[in-house]
């Protein structure tokens, strides 16, 4: 169920990423509330990817899924 909530939240940021030629994939969620994602496409090699991860993806996930503590790229 937690993964479904995370996927729903990721679907809210996906259009912005896809507009720039990138995307995000959910890799794993651990019991400590750490979400691991993979940035793909243009986002994978973008120098701004860490800002996108923290200020975009992590912010939206925390707002929509309060159990999330942080988001990491793998």
| Alpha-carbon torsion (61, 56, 22, 49), positive or negative | negative
What pLDDT, in 10s, does the model give residues 33-73?
999 999 999 988 888 899 999 999 999 999 999 999 999 99
pLDDT value of residue 72? 95
Instruction: Assign 4 a pLDDT band (cuts: 50, 70, 90).
Output: very high
Reported pTM:
0.90
CATH code for the part of the protein at 2-73 = 3.30.300.130
pLDDT value of residue 46? 86
The residues spanned by each domain of the chain are: 2-73
Per DSSP (E only), the strands in the chain are 22-29, 34-41, 70-73
Residue 1 has pLDDT above 90, yes or no: no
């Amino acid at each position: 169920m937690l993964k479904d909530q995370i996927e729903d939240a990721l679907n809210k940021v996906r259009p912005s990423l896809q507009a720039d030629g990138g995307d995000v994939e959910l890799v794993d969620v651990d019991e400590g509330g750490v979400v691991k994602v993979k940035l793909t496409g243009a986002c994978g090699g973008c120098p701004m990817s860490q800002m996108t991860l923290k200020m975009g993806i992590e912010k939206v996930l925390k707002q929509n899924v309060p159990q999330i503590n942080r988001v990491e790229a793998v």
